[in-house]
Amino acid sequence: MKNTKSALLVGVGGQGAILTAKVLVNGLMNAGYDVKMSEVHGMSQRGGSVSTQVHWGKKVYSPVIGRGEADIIVAFEKMEAVRYADFLKPDGIAVINDYELPSMTIAAGLCEYPEGCLEAMQENFTCHVLNAEAIAESLGSAKCMNIVLFGSMVKALGMDGIDWESVISETVPPKFRELNLKAYRAGYAAVD
Amino acid sequence: MKHLLSGNEAIARGAYEAGVRVCSAYPGTPSTEIFEALPQYQEELYCEWAPNEKVATEVAYGAAIAGVRSLCAMKHVGLNVAADPVFTASYNGVNGGFVVVTADDPSMHSSQNEQDNRYYARAAKIALIEPSDSQECKDFLRTAYEISERFDMPVLFRTTTRVSHSKSLVEFSERIDVPPRPYVKNTPKNDCAPGYAYQKRPKVERMLKELEEYGNSCPLNRIETGDGEVGVITASIAYQYAKDVFPEGTSFLKLGLTNPLPMNLIRDFASSVKTLYVVEELEGFMEEQIRAAGIPCIGKEKISNMYELNPQRLRQMLFGIEPETKELKVKAVSRPPALCPGCPHRGFFYIMSKRKDTVIAGDIGCYTLGGSAPLNALDTCICMGAGFSAGAGMAKAFEVTGRKKKVFGVVGDSTFFHSGMTGAVEIIYNKANVIPVVLDNHITGMTGHQDNPGSGYTLQGEVANAVAIEDVLRAFGYQKILIADPQDLSTMEKAVDEAAASDVPTAIITRRPCLLIKRMKHDIGKCTVDPEKCVGCKSCLKVGCPAIMIRDRKACIDANLCVGCTVCAQVCTKKAIAGKEN
């Protein structure tokens, strides 16, 4: 694990975490890093909890990380931040979307959405919390929420050495280019 | 230039580069994307979805007999279905190279069990090749064809979820042109009749022996020499984890050809280090054989044979190093997968959930989710096809012991063609008291929307002959076939009642396309709740739709998730839910 960094992108199936990971990976590849990315398909797509891992450095072996090994968690949904919190290093960073998606068990009234997700994360880790949905909607579409979060992640990790705007332009479909560039800038600006 | 590819995409690229000409598969996580990536090479190779893994394997094997390189692919449990041709192909051998890809699923991310398919290679007495990243997926596949042709046997090419679904950098090579080998009729070789099989039996042992000898020096097996203190024998994804966990100076014997094991190479390596570890995911497949050869090693007494490994788990199990983590006061509640909003299966399962006198034998697919709360409308789920046949067995057991239970067997359209048809024959032939139900959504859903014999399209998206499920059932002898739109609850309920009361062989087909089929236009709308009329009775929650929840004691529909299927509106006793148009 020496000299490598790892990011864990977590959310709910359909939130666009995979596109975010793709932007990250493309930028890292262009910058000459060895990169591995891991995701799980199948059952988890049907509204279940999903996680995508990106691991980069001069030389990377394992595509996956275990508990206590992630440098950053980007949570597209706040309860998912809590679910994966033990993957974070004690000095790791969390970028959390202040967004609540009840699970089927909660919607069916079998249990309650846990209270204090954000506070629990903030007590333990360096956290950047933003309402990426509201930011995305103010830019024109909730669909670019994922790139808003990506902008925040870049700022939080201090990964300014890579020209992310051109990476985004090359990765997203042309008709969404402007929207996603705005989303990136807004997300970046949302982190102090 | 390097390309970021998943292991599955790299296998597809590898097939192209290795000059493969015929490819057949049935989708199954985590193997599916291999074949989704093949049509881009269709100028050079033929590829298809077969009705099941056994058919796919036989198609590919037939092509190999005819003299071309061929590929089939499946998830681990698919090999259970396809085992029959593989075991005999081992005796008959090949003409063009023949590779069977099995994608195992440690931790059962999308599977019903955690079987370790390396044992199939031993049992079938064939070569086993295990890549550990995407580059190896591509490169090893080419070597797999050389091995298949040189040693006259099928090659089992085994990945795991993390090999198949992780993306890493891959350098491409040129495609090699492999001219077809002549096809010459050769009955003693290609006929498995007992007399011929008896004669071929010693060849199988001889080839394995020669292959083991080859393994001692083949490029798939390599040594990374360290300081001689600690040595690790490993393969597949476990190699990557071990590289992260063991300190610098550790020697590695990294195996790519793992059946037969190159025991001379292993013995030499073992004698070059003071302490030997065998690091492998799931069972002690290599370790058992290494120990049996009298070589002491550390392995499964420390490394669990359950669930997938990762560097942290391995470090903890081997060296007792606990990860540094922080304990949170708040706990996340579970987020199980659910039928999508607007899923056509919902209406059927809702109707079935109200029938308390009924046993429902389920099957593998999106509709397995009909067994989750709050629908709870499945009694069993075993394997592809068992919805009909296990249902038949339960019905027989109830019948011979005088217990009155109505049994419904449930399969999807793709599963019907996969192995549901034989169960439908069993029911009619042996007069089993089961109502077979085919949930026809025109697609193979759970694996990510692949076409099947009923969908009317091929893997390449070309128009195909669509096999009509009702025609098949009618030909089997079902006298009454009730076709219902599952989204229309009163029609659906009527069909279920009518089938249950019928005294002639009766089957049900629920028919409505999956909303995620991209080539179709879907009638999408939004349902809304009138808070004045809603009394908060929660009847609508019983349909198990992720778009409905209770907020401030009233039903509330998430407009981002709702697609306006109106199933919730149909169950609302106060008519408080309306479609957008109304």
Answer whether B4 touches A (CB < 8 Å): yes
Mean pLDDT of B23-52: 97
pLDDT value at B533 more than 80: yes
A72-93 pLDDT, tens digit each: 999 999 999 999 999 999 999 9
pLDDT band at A42 (very low <50, low <70, confident <90, very high): low
Per DSSP, the residues of B12-69 read HHHHHHTT--EEEE---TTTTHHHHTSGGGTTT-EEEE-SSHHHHHHHHHHHHHTTS-
Mean pLDDT of B112-140: 98
Q: Return the minimum-mean-pLDDT range out of A144-158, B307-321, B552-566.
A: B552-566
Nearest C-alpha neighbor of B282 from the set B63, B128, B149, B106: B106
CB burial of B137-170 (b: ≥16 within 10 Å; e: otherwise) equals bbbbbbbbbebbbebbbbbbbbbbbbbbbbbbbb
Q: Is the ipTM of this complex over 0.90?
A: yes
Torsions phi, psi for B407 (to 5 deg): -110, 130
The rounded percent of chain B whose pLDDT value lies above 70 is: 99
Mean pLDDT of B305-316: 97
**pLDDT top residue among B327 and B415:** B415
- Compute CA distances A96 → A24, A103, B509, whole Å: 17, 18, 45
Query: What are chain B's domains?
Result: 2-215 (3.40.50.970), 222-319 (3.40.50.920), 345-511 (3.40.50.970), 525-581 (3.30.70.20)
Mean pLDDT of B550-572: 92
Q: Return the minimum-mean-pLDDT range out of B162-166, B237-241, B334-338, B421-425.
A: B334-338
Nearest-Cα distance to chain B for A124, in Å, is 7
What is the chain B residue with the closest CA to A117? B330
Mean pLDDT of B573-581: 86
Output the pLDDT for position A48. Answer: 79
CA-CA-CA-CA torsion sign (B386, B387, B392, B393): positive
Tell if the CB–CB gap between B325 and A67 is shorter than 8 Å: yes
pLDDT value at A45 more than 70: no
Output the pLDDT for position A43. Answer: 59
pLDDT value at B48 more than 50: yes
B145-175 pLDDT, tens digit each: 999 999 999 999 999 999 999 999 999 999 9
**pLDDT top residue among A2 and B233:** B233
Torsions phi, psi for A8 (to 5 deg): -120, 120
pLDDT value at A46 more than 80: no
Answer whether B501 touches A (CB < 8 Å): no
- Please answer whether residues A36 and B168 qualify as being in contact, where contact means their C-beta atoms are separated by less than 8 angstroms: yes
Output the pLDDT for position B315. Answer: 97
pLDDT band at B99 (very low <50, low <70, confident <90, very high): very high
Output the pLDDT for position A1. Answer: 44
C-alpha to C-alpha distance for B344 and B347, rounded to whole angstroms: 6
Strands A126-130 and A88-97: parallel
Tally Cβ neighbours within 10 Å of residue A141: 12
Tell if the CB–CB gap between B310 and A64 is shorter than 8 Å: yes
The rounded percent of chain B whose pLDDT value lies above 90 is: 93
Mean pLDDT of A33-51: 78
What is the chain B residue with the closest CA to A34? B169
The pTM assigned to this predicted structure is 0.96
Give A-chain residues touching B310 at CB under 8 angstroms.
62, 64-66
Helix (H, G, I), strand (E, B) or coil at B568: helix
B430-481 pLDDT, tens digit each: 999 999 999 999 999 889 899 999 999 999 999 999 999 999 999 999 999 9
pLDDT band at A18 (very low <50, low <70, confident <90, very high): confident
What is the chain B residue with the closest CA to A116? B330
The rounded percent of chain A whose pLDDT value lies above 90 is: 78
pLDDT band at B582 (very low <50, low <70, confident <90, very high): very low
Mean pLDDT of A150-158: 96
Burial of A2 (0-12, 13-18, 19+ CB in 10 A): exposed
Nearest-Cα distance to chain A for B9, in Å, is 13
